[in-house]
Amino acid sequence: MEGNEQNSAEELLEKGRYYCGQGQTIKAKEIFERVLEIQTKELGGDDPSLAITLNHIGAALLNEENYDEAMGTLERALGMQLGNLGATDADIGRTYESIGRVSLGQGNYEKAEVLFRIALNIKLELPATHMSDLMDVCHNLVVSLQMQGKVSDAVMMQKGVLAKQLEMHGEDHPEVVKLYVGIAVSLKTQTKLNKALQMLDKGIEVCSRLQRTGDFDADIFEVVLLSKALCLQRQENFEGATEVFTELLMFQKETLGEIRLSTAQTYESLALLYARQDMTDDAIKAYANAIHVFKTVLGDDYPKTKELAPTLKLLKREKIAKTLRLQGLEMKAQGDLANSVLLFQEAQIIYKEIHTAHPSPEAVSKNIYAANIDIAASLELFSAWKVDQGLLEDAITVSADALKIRRRTLGDDHTDTKERMEVHRSLLKRLLENRS
């Protein structure tokens, strides 16, 4: 065969593995198929050594999402292995796992579950199994269980693997942290958020110890902190989530570098939390930093970069509205009611503009509400001042405007609205008495 003189099957296998590692699966598959031809010609079609090559071809087909051909190739490899090797051989475990991944890709989750369980049991029985290999099959088994809605089974399985690993290797291992995170994710799916947080805190404790012993994995610690922040956010513990996201950001900047996609995403998450908590200045800074990092990493035309720029602009407008409202409150305290109303109205216009352009929220809706109440309160005081000046008709006009705002904002059944209705009626009654 062409190239057979220059390259042994072993050399070609290494070359194929290299291309596979580089993500060039089509080229890798072509090389593995050449190896299979060489081996078949030299050893015969049933030699057990062909199983390894078939496994490589199956993996390449799987990466190409050619599931049917991958399934046939891998099942042929498994048949050879079971007929020639022990049932707990590491290669058999890998083949079961590969067939499970094909089944997962085909949407056959029940079959995938069975295959992943077999692969997991084989790997657990082999003392030389690397924990990262164990985590891969564990993750795939969790996915197959979750896709069937068997979240409780997923948690039970993960805890079983964790117990085995704690017994064999102890707690202070990066892969144990991954197990804690995996269990937390499953618990979060069940909305058992407090238990999920307990798992994540255990993971953080292990990371802290690993940092002292030199086995610390920065990428894993980043994942643990992110998972905890998202869990707190899911609980609507926005203050706690902000605190953890801030810790995550500091860690990313100091250890991993600021100009990274994940750092930009942390800035964005913080900006959203700040905005939700009405911390406009902090939100503006966080959005500006997020845009800068997104631009640096992905360029000006990246959708997220374009999406955040208008949001930042609206936040700056909101800051102006807040300043106007504060000035209005000062004017009101000084007795300058006419100007306080004007300032509140300007703030209200901006808040409505923001709400129309970017309806997020509670934060914006709350500010519109506050501006409306401020306007009504100032108008009511202004109406009372008009009464004191003997300008009863003007007072009634101003009172009517205030009442409209109360009714629109609070509704007719609200206590404050009812009180203002009584005040307004008394003014109308007084006007009628004066005219009679």
The amino acid at 256 = L
Q: What is the dihedral of CA 415, 420, 421, 422, to 10 degrees?
A: 90
Could you tell me how far CA 161 lies from the centroid of its own chain?
Answer: 26
The amino acid at 429 = K
Q: Which two tokens stand for residue 403?
A: 């009442």
Exposure string of 263-299, with b = 16+ CB inside 10 Å and e = fewer, is: bbbbbbbbbbbbbbebbbebbbbbbbbbbebbbebee
Q: What is the dihedral of CA 30, 36, 37, 39, to 10 degrees?
A: 150
Q: How do the pLDDT tens digits run along the chain, 436 residues long?
A: 444 433 577 788 888 888 877 878 888 888 888 888 888 888 777 777 788 889 889 988 888 889 999 999 999 989 888 877 554 588 888 899 999 999 999 999 999 999 999 998 888 887 666 667 777 888 899 899 989 989 899 889 888 888 888 887 788 888 889 889 999 988 998 889 999 999 999 999 999 999 888 888 899 999 999 999 999 999 999 999 999 999 999 999 999 999 999 999 999 999 989 988 888 899 999 999 999 999 999 888 888 888 888 888 888 888 898 888 889 889 888 888 888 888 888 887 887 777 676 655 555 566 677 778 888 888 888 888 888 888 999 889 989 988 998 898 889 999 999 999 999 999 999 888 888 7
Where does residue 78 rank: exposed (0-12), middle (13-18), buried (19+ CB within 10 A)? Answer: buried
> Which alpha helices (H) appear in 190-252, and where do they start and end?
193-213, 218-234, 238-251
Q: Report the greatest alpha carbon distance in the chain.
A: 121
CATH of 1-146, one of 1.25.40.10, 1.10.8.60, 1.10.150.120, 1.10.357.10: 1.25.40.10
Residue 93 exposure: Cα atoms within 13 Å on the Cβ side: 20
Question: Measuring CA to CA, how many Å separate 430 from each of 150, 402, 417, 434?
Answer: 72, 18, 20, 6
User: Coil, strand or helix: which one is 126?
Assistant: coil
- CATH 1.25.40.10 in the chain is located at 1-146, 150-255
Tell me how far apart the alpha carbons of residues 348 and 16 are, in angstroms, rounded to a whole number. Answer: 66
Tell me how far apart the alpha carbons of residues 53 and 36 are, in angstroms, rounded to a whole number. Answer: 6
User: What's the pLDDT at 208?
Assistant: 92
Tell me how far apart the alpha carbons of residues 277 and 271 are, in angstroms, rounded to a whole number. Answer: 10
DSSP string, 320-353: HHHHHHHHHHHHHHTT-HHHHHHHHHHHHHHHHH
Q: Which CATH class is domain 150-255?
A: mainly alpha
User: What's the pLDDT at 277?
Assistant: 87
Which residues are CB-contacts of 334 (< 8 A; sequence separation ≥ 6)? Answer: none
- To the nearest 10 degrees (0 to 180), the angle between helices 25-43 and 50-63 is 160
Architecture of the 325-435 domain: Alpha Horseshoe (1.25)
User: What's the pLDDT at 20?
Assistant: 79
The amino acid at 404 = K
CB 260 within 8 A of CB 224: no
Exposure string of 216-238, with b = 16+ CB inside 10 Å and e = fewer, is: bbeebbbbbbbbbbbbbbeeebe
